[in-house]
């Protein structure tokens, strides 16, 4: 089981647990996360959702083997169900990030309400490096959060950034010692057990009302281009290079 779920003390935990592949996310894992988020949204015993990885890795992003063998074909693909479930979750979602958060590992954080990162966290959105384009609304949200110039470094060059920088850019709330991140995030999640649940949900919806339509539109436009890019010679070269443990050669394109 690569996604472990549990409801403890009002908190739905979603733990990404595939350390042998650096927590790379497969179709089955997206489906499990989408189903869990949707169920948590309907479950009155759940007051908040906590997403966490493993002590050494949050997630290395989409499984690149899956990108090659079973790319998302339509809006029912598990990855899009996961994106909709994240955006549609009107209970607080808290992320605890240890180690690397790559690709969707970083873009999913844009849609959490609270993000706590370890002092060893490394975030990156290397879509272009893989012959792809930004996804999960990041082409819209990242420039708004950090400005066009910094967004170009992160989205066009794929430059990685630290937990401290994630706080500075408004992606994360705070940096904590690696061993304390999950416990801190859980304590924040458990605070919602004492708050009025409907007031929390209505407030979260209000906070997103002005931006949700543009976000969903951006996700759809990105998805169409992303889907075409997955089958492009540039992306195929990048995927093959990853598994052959070499740098991609884009000089021929």
Residues within the interface to ligand COA (CB under 6 A): 21-22, 24, 60-65, 100, 102-103, 126-127, 130
Our CB check for ligand COA shows the closer of 46 and 117 to be: 117
If one counts every other C-beta atom within 10 angstroms of the C-beta of residue 68, the result is: 16
Q: Are 158 and 150 in contact (CB under 8 A)?
A: no
Quick check: helix, strand or coil at residue 246? coil
The residue whose two tokens read 């470094």 is: 153
Our CB check for ligand COA shows the closer of 25 and 189 to be: 25
CB of 16 vs ligand COA, minimal distance in Å: 12
Our CB check for ligand COA shows the closer of 38 and 162 to be: 162
CB of 55 vs ligand COA, minimal distance in Å: 14
CB of 244 vs ligand COA, minimal distance in Å: 10
Among 103, 90, 108, 142, which Cα is nearest to 33's?
108
CB of 249 vs ligand COA, minimal distance in Å: 17
Q: What's the DSSP call for residue 54?
A: B
Q: Which two tokens stand for residue 161?
A: 């950034």
Our CB check for ligand COA shows the closer of 20 and 42 to be: 20
Q: By beta-carbon distance, which residue lies closest to ligand COA? A: 103
Q: Are 35 and 73 in contact (CB under 8 A)?
A: no
């Amino acid at each position: 089981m690569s996604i472990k779920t549990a409801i403890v003390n009002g908190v739905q935990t979603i733990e990404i647990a595939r350390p042998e592949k650096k927590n790379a996310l497969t179709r089955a894992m997206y489906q499990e996360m989408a189903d869990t988020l949707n169920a948590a949204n309907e479950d009155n015993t759940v007051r908040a959702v906590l997403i966490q990885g493993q002590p050494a890795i949050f997630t290395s992003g989409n499984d690149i083997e899956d990108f090659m063998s079973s790319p998302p074909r339509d809006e029912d693909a598990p990855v899009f169900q996961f994106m909709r479930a994240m955006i549609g979750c009107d209970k607080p979602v808290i992320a605890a990030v240890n180690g690397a958060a790559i690709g969707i590992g970083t873009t999913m954080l844009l849609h959490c309400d609270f993000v706590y990162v370890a002092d060893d966290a490394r975030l990156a959105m290397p879509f272009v490096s893989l012959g792809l384009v930004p996804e999960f609304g990041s082409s819209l949200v990242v420039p708004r959060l950090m400005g066009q110039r910094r967004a170009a470094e992160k989205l066009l060059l794929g430059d990685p950034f630290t937990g401290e920088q994630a706080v500075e850019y408004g992606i994360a709330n705070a940096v904590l010692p690696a061993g304390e991140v999950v416990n801190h995030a859980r304590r924040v999640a458990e605070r919602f057990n004492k708050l009025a649940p409907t007031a929390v949900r209505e407030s979260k919806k209000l906070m997103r009302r002005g931006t949700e339509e543009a976000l969903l539109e951006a996700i759809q436009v990105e998805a169409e281009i992303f889907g075409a890019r997955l089958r492009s010679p540039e992306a195929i070269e990048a995927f093959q290079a990853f598994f052959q443990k070499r740098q991609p050669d884009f000089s021929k394109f």
